[in-house]
Structure 1
Amino acid sequence: MPFLIAAVILLGVLCALDLVLTIGVIKRLREHTERLALMGGGFATIDVGAEISAFESVTVDGVRLVRESLTEETVVAFFSPNCEPCKEKLPQFAEYVRTRPGGRSRALAVVVGEGDAGAPFVTALSPIAHVVVEGQNGPLNSAFRTTSYPTVVRVAPDGGGRLVVTASHVELGRSAVSAA
């Protein structure tokens, strides 16, 4: 009987130890997930010098937008309303565009989402940029080959008139005037 009691106590201690270790692993996984989420956004999957594919879309103001509409260097940002880093980067993007020569006319923001989820983004971005709302496989997402959010790039026509990426990662923390 004492042997059985000792075995049950040992088994209970091992289960408690396993529970403590499992909780620790879960906590670390959550921390790593948060870190990866913060690091994951902001980098385009399209390289500097790559040509932007043809696209056709309409801004929330009803303006038709095609690749040829972007005739000067333009900053293009992709935000998703379901993305925490997007919510954090939105004020930085707004400040960046405000300090940028050309302001709203040289800024395009794409809100990727369905329904009314993107309404706060549209409200915040409309005064400072042309805004397009589209789904995950929308024309701008496809043309820019965007797979992560937020993504901010600069594009401009090259010498041959092709629209190409001039910066695949834009530092929003820096002033647009000094970053250009």
Structure 2
Amino acid sequence: MPFLTALVLGVGVLCLIDLVLTVGVIRRLRAHEEMLSARPMASPSIVLPPGATIGGFSAVSTDGVHVSDETLTEPVLVGVFSPGCSACHDRLPQFAERARSFPGGRGNVLAVLVGTEEEVADERRTLEPVALVLIEEYGTGLTKALQVNGFPSLALVDVRGRVVASGTTLEDLDKIPVHA
């Protein structure tokens, strides 16, 4: 019997030590969680931020108009969309509506469709009446010049190629007015 008592007592002590260590680990994890939540979250930019200058690019729109960083003579509204992107599907009609009334008309609106001709056919039909449409592969042309990391990407670019406003919604573009 004394052996059994000693065994039970030993197991009880081990359980108590385990409990104390577990409580300590939980407290430590909570402290780390609080420290991490207090840090500002740095999310990667989906497109070049305001103040940045776009890289060089050269492209021909679906209706044969040559556009490049050197042909910017007025502020330009840019939208980059990808097929299969639900946010793009939601925002493309809003972008087209904004493009309709953008100063300078469709010549000052660039709509970049990332994909193949077949994949972007519907978007192309929607955008061609209000924008110069560029169809390109991801990471080339204007998507590379704007450092696009996700879709949709929207930007206002001035005549010097400087991003005036950018983001994923039209509200993001309204935060800073366009200056020629």
For normalisation by structure 1, the TM-score amounts to 0.67
Determine whether 1:67 maps to 2:72.
no
Check whether the contact 2:155–2:165 (CA below 8 A) recurs between aligned residues. Answer: yes
- Aligned to 1:58, which of 51, 57, 60? 60
Question: Percent identity of the aligned residues?
Answer: 37
User: Across the two proteins, how many residue pairs are aligned to each other?
Assistant: 133
* Moved segments of 4+, more than 2 Å: 169-176
Higher relative contact order (CA 8 A, sep 6+): 1
CA displacement 1:95-150 (0-9 Å, x = unmatched): 11122222212111000012401000111000000000001122111111001101
Corresponding residue for 1:165?
Answer: 163
Superposed CA RMSD: 2.3
CA distance in 2 between partners of 1:128 and 1:115 (Å): 18
The answer for unaligned runs of 5 or more in structure 2 is: 1-44
Corresponding residue for 2:127?
Answer: 125
Corresponding residue for 2:37?
Answer: none
Aligned residue type for 1:163: G
Aligned in 2, Cα 1:95/1:174: closer, same or farther, shift over 3 Å? farther
CA distance in 1 between partners of 2:50 and 2:172 (Å): 19
Larger radius of gyration: 2
- Aligned to 2:136, which of 130, 134, 137? 134
The answer for unaligned runs of 5 or more in structure 1 is: 1-42
For normalisation by structure 2, the TM-score amounts to 0.67
